[in-house]
């Protein structure tokens, strides 16, 4: 159990470093233990020139899907709404690329405790980064012309 948790922290750090290296500012929340006692904090928040991206980070060895607590999704949703940003579940699997699931694409009913999401049809980290950082480039080019 402890090993599993430290693996989660390791992939969180990996995601933080990748985003930072691409020009994002990044904050990782306090460890889960500290978190539970106080306010809700997401695992990671990244910023890029005024845009806000809120992440819950998941590590799983299942190949096709991930199961999430709806209570966590609700907290993430409130954080997203307060912040005015976008929210994602960032899923890391051993030997595979990150998959990013936009919170807006997750459908669940309020009376279920868990929701299982297929990982196919969601975007990769690379796609996410390119999209966010290229929009700026597009605007820049427009401004120059």
Element (H, E) at 4: helix 2-21
- 35-40: which pairs have CB atoms within 8 A and are 24 or more residues apart? 40/75, 40/78, 40/79
Q: For its own copies, give the closer residue by CB, 84 or 95.
A: 84
Residue 18 Cβ, how far from its own copies at the closest point, in Å? 11
Lookup: tokens for 132: 């966010």
- 52/104 Cα distance (integer angstroms): 15
* 83 carries an active-site annotation: no
Residue 15 Cβ, how far from its own copies at the closest point, in Å? 11
Q: For its own copies, give the closer residue by CB, 30 or 94.
A: 30
Residues that bind its own copies (CB under 8 A): 13, 16-17, 20, 23-31, 38-39, 41-42, 45, 47-52, 54, 79-80, 82-85
Please tell me which residue in 32, 61, 63, 83 is annotated as part of the active site.
Answer: 32
Q: For its own copies, give the closer residue by CB, 16 or 100.
A: 16
- 116/58 Cα distance (integer angstroms): 13
Closest CA to 75 of 106, 40, 99, 49: 40
Residue 36 Cβ, how far from its own copies at the closest point, in Å? 13
Please give the positions annotated as active site.
32
């Amino acid at each position: 159990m402890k090993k599993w948790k430290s693996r989660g922290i390791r992939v969180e750090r990996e995601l933080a470093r990748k985003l930072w290296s691409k020009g994002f500012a990044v904050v990782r929340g306090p460890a889960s233990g500290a978190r539970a006692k106080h306010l809700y904090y997401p695992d990671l928040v990244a910023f890029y020139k005024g845009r806000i991206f809120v992440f819950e980070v998941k590590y799983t060895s299942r190949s096709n899907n991930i199961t999430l607590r709806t209570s966590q999704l609700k907290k993430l949703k409130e954080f997203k709404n307060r912040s005015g940003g976008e929210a994602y579940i960032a899923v890391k699997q051993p030997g595979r690329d990150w998959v990013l699931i936009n919170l807006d694409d997750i459908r669940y009913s309020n009376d279920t405790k868990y929701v299982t999401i297929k990982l196919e049809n969601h975007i990769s980290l690379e796609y996410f980064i390119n999209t966010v950082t290229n929009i700026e480039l597009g605007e820049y080019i427009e401004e120059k012309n």
